[in-house]
């Protein structure tokens, strides 16, 4: 249900509020899941902030949260949009190597 809140702030482009909400969640021992991360990654990607989207993806991995195909697709689309096809293809290779068939 928190994804709805994240989605609303993301649509408004209020990423400071998104960061604040993430921090508040964690302070109450509520861990974001892959859906939460994907919603935020999507927003950063749509804003053209692919560096921040990639950082969030890395944070997700460090926290042991396994991205799903939607997460990968979202980040790859964002990377392609900013013209970094090689980086997107590297992410695709990473996905193939880290995702069991």
Separation of alpha carbons 69 and 19, rounded Å: 24
Separation of alpha carbons 19 and 26, rounded Å: 11
Total structural domains within the chain: 1
pTM, entire model:
0.83
3-state secondary structure of 47: coil
Separation of alpha carbons 94 and 90, rounded Å: 6
The pLDDT of residue 1: 47
What CATH number should be reported for the domain holding residue 42? 1.25.40.10
Contact 51, 15 (CB under 8 A): no
The pLDDT of residue 99: 64
- Of 40, 55, 54, the closest CA to residue 7 belongs to 40
The pLDDT of residue 56: 93
Separation of alpha carbons 54 and 29, rounded Å: 24
Taking only the tens of pLDDT, the chain with its 101 residues reads 455 566 777 777 778 888 888 888 888 898 889 998 999 999 999 999 999 999 999 999 999 999 999 999 999 999 999 999 898 889 988 888 886 65
The pLDDT of residue 100: 60
- Residue ranges making up the domain that contains 76: 2-98
Q: Provide the token pair at 43.
A: 């927003």
């Amino acid at each position: 249900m928190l994804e709805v809140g994240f989605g609303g702030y993301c649509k408004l482009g209020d990423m400071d509020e998104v960061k604040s909400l993430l921090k508040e969640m964690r302070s109450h021992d509520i861990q974001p899941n892959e859906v939460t991360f994907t919603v935020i990654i999507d927003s950063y990607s749509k804003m053209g902030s692919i560096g921040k989207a990639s950082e969030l993806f890395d944070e997700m991995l460090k926290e042991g949260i396994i991205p799903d195909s939607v997460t990968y697709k979202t980040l790859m689309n964002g990377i392609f949009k900013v013209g970094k096809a090689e980086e997107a293809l590297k992410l695709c290779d990473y996905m193939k190597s880290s995702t069991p068939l």
